[in-house]
Every structure is written in C-alpha cells, then in structure tokens.
Structure 1
C-alpha cells in the first residue's frame, strides 16, 4: 500500500516537473523570437536612416496618402 502511494506521488511530481520544463522551454523560445524580431527591426531602422541621409526616401509613394 505505502509503496503504491509513494510511486503515485513520485509520478505526479515527475509530471509537474515535466510540465514546468515545457513551460520554461516555450518561454525561452518566445524570448528568442522576440530578440530576433528586435534585431530585424533595428536593422530596418538603420537602413531607413541610411536612405534618408542619402536623400532617397522618406516621402510617400505615388498613390499612397495618409
């Protein structure tokens, strides 16, 4: 009887630990994607600034008005 209960508790504990590890993995994946997105945004902003300095861009394109 006691052995069965101990095994049951250990099984539940292992299940909880597995779920926690899964959540941590998903959190790490979201953080990695966010960091990648920030890097790409910074890269686009840098290119935009370069074009503006060269005088190529910054205006509205034909047919596109705000």
Structure 2
C-alpha cells in the first residue's frame, strides 16, 4: 500500500500496534525493529480484547506521500 501511493517505509511518521496479548510485545518489537532500525517513527502499542478475523496483531500507520 505504501509503495502504491509512491512512498516508502522511511516516510512513516506514526504507527499504532494493536495486540490481543501483550505477552507478544517482545516478539512484535523485535520484528518491528527489523523494519524501523534507523530513526523509528512515533509508536503506540495497545492491548485489545479482540481483532477482526481473530488475528493477533493489527497495525495502523501514518505515512507521508509525495
């Protein structure tokens, strides 16, 4: 989606992560760090009781487009 609008991960300014189990935070944080190792964007992580289609993780991002 990011590339389709002519942007890239480096232009991400804010990410919100929704987890159904905060015990997965360390795993998610490790994977997140692989994608945003240099100057990571602002981030919030929230535990929720349930997500659509019973997924464990959902992410919402704000990305600048040209």
TM-score (norm 2): 0.22
| Structure with higher strand content | 2
Answer 1 or 2: which has greater helix percent.
1
Larger radius of gyration: 1
